Amino acid sequence: MSNAAEHRYSSVIAGGSGTRLWPYSRKARPKQLLPVAGGMSLLEHAWHRVDTVVPVERRIICSAEPFRSVISSALTGLSDDNFLGEPIGRDTLNAVGLIAFVLASRDPHAVFCVLTADHLIEPAEAFRARLIEGFRVVEADRSRLVTFGITPTHAATGYGYVERGEAIHGFDRVFRAQRFVEKPDRVRAEEYLARGTFGWNSGMFVFAAQTMCDAITRFKPECADGLAQIAAAYDTPARDEVLARIYPTLPKVSIDYGVMEPAGHDPAFTVCTLPMELSWLDVGSWSSYAETVALDDEGNRCNGHWCDKDSRNMLIISDDPTHVIATIGCRDLVIVHTKDATLVCPRDATERVKEIAEQVPHAWR
């Protein structure tokens, strides 16, 4: 009888163009490849987050096919067969489904975690301990679908929430997922924080591969049919043709809406939430990226060459070592400089960067 750990896999979904981090993030250099804390990219942080839990030969990356070469070069040990290239993004259900159907065809006993490529999580050892617990929860009952909930530190309105119910038998720190809630308004977010039974929905999961295939077949058969055809051809010479023909036709839907929510009302599945009490930063905008840059006594954060007189609460980012940014008496600004584009905006307007990224001419996107 094989050891359960031999059937553990990890996957990272590295999609998204990162338009809220323009001009640092571009179509040719998505946000998951941007250098952050320690000089590593967000994707490299995610890759090494499972060190000692899952060996490199069982780690999968799902991303846009045009990024295959640059991602494979950045991640030591990633095999070509374990890069699942999407010809076009079709939201998270199909990305997770592609991983699940391919894994189930390769290893009927596979259990896999789904991680994201835009988070910074510390301490790493605490994360690994909770990840291992997530694997054990599913291995004890393969009908379980586990989502990780981040213990909130404030009443955030930019995240979805998951409410925990009763504890899962045999796992004191794992609970039934009572309900999923979309991004709340300020009043509801403060209520959730006060209750203490809600976690931020992290977008990280653990599933048995075959169980996820069954769930997609039950709740989204229009996706399952195409994914099954792709998986049947995936390790054959027909892979590229079948993938390019079928994948773009799959209906776009999120894994939360398409599977996790309906599974919570279906007795064939047990949706669980596993709280994580650790430092978690979703690096999705310049306001959150700023938290990865050292703070000085005047509230400024700088990563680049900067000369200043009397400015306060500034975020200065530059990837051009030959360029200097100079400011005098500025307040509460974000300045991001690259060799061919520069962004200047108030710090309280960073959520609107996506709008300007979609407006600039295509050559600078």
The CATH code of the domain that includes 116 is 3.90.550.10
Q: According to the model, what pLDDT value does residue 1 have? A: 44
**Could you count the other beta carbons within 10 Å of the beta carbon of residue 344?**
11
In total, how many domains does the chain have?
2
Given this model, what pLDDT does residue 28 score?
A: 77
Range(s) of the domain holding residue 343: 286-364
**Based on the domain organization, do 21 and 119 belong to the same domain?**
yes
Do residue 161 and residue 223 come from a single domain? yes
**Are both 274 and 292 inside the same structural domain?**
no
Residue 36 sits in the same domain as residue 120: yes
Q: Which two tokens stand for residue 195?
A: 């209750």
- Where is the domain boundary, 282, 301, 328? 282
Q: Do 107 and 254 reside in the same domain of the chain?
A: yes
List the end-to-end C-alpha distance of the chain, in Å, as a whole number.
53
Q: Are residues 70 and 94 in the same domain?
A: yes
Q: Which of 282, 314, 329 is the last residue of a domain?
A: 282
Residue 112 shares a structural domain with residue 211:
yes
Identify whether residues 199 and 336 lie together within a single domain. no
Answer with the one of 282, 297, 320 that is the final residue of a domain.
Answer: 282
Q: What is the pLDDT of residue 178?
A: 94
130 and 212 inside one domain: yes
pLDDT at 17: 66
Taking alpha carbons only, the member of 49, 108, 72 closest to residue 231 is: 108
308 and 179, same domain (yes or no)? no
**Residues 300, 254 share a domain:** no
pLDDT tens string, the chain, 365 residues long: the values are 468 899 999 999 997 667 889 998 888 778 888 888 777 899 999 999 999 999 999 999 999 999 999 999 999 999 999 999 999 999 999 999 999 999 999 999 999 999 989 889 999 999 999 999 999 999 999 999 999 999 999 999 989 999 999 999 999 899 999 999 999 999 999 999 999 999 999 999 999 999 999 999 999 999 999 999 999 999 999 999 999 999 999 999 999 999 999 999 999 999 999 999 999 998 888 998 999 899 999 999 999 999 999 999 999 999 899 999 999 999 999 999 999 999 999 999 998 999 999 999 988 98
Closest to 121 measured CA to CA, from 53, 9, 202: 202
Provide the residue count of the chain.
Answer: 365
One-letter-per-residue 3-state SS of the chain: CCCHHHHEEEEEECCCCCHHHCCCCCCCCCHHHCECHHHCEHHHHHHHCCCCCCCHHHEEEEEEHHHHHHHHHHCCCCCHHHEEEECCCCHHHHHHHHHHHHHHHHCCCCEEEEEECCEEEECHHHHHHHHHHHHHHHHHCCCEEEEEEECCCCCCCCCCEEEEEEEECCEEEEEEEEEEECCCCHHHHHHHHHHCCEEEEEEEEEEEHHHHHHHHHHHCHHHHHHHHHHHHHHCCCCHHHHHHHHHHHCCCCCHHHHHHHHHCCCCCCEEEEEEECCEEEECCCHHHHHHHCCECCCCCEEECCEEEECCECCEEEECCCCCCEEEECCECEEEEECCCCEEEEEHHHHHHHHHHHHHCCHHHC
Q: Kindly state whether residues 99 and 240 are assigned to the same domain.
A: yes
Classify strands 111-116 and 119-122 as parallel, antiparallel or unpaired.
Answer: unpaired
Select from 219, 213, 228, 152 the least CA-distant residue to 188.
152
Q: Residue 15's pLDDT is what? A: 78
pLDDT at 19: 86
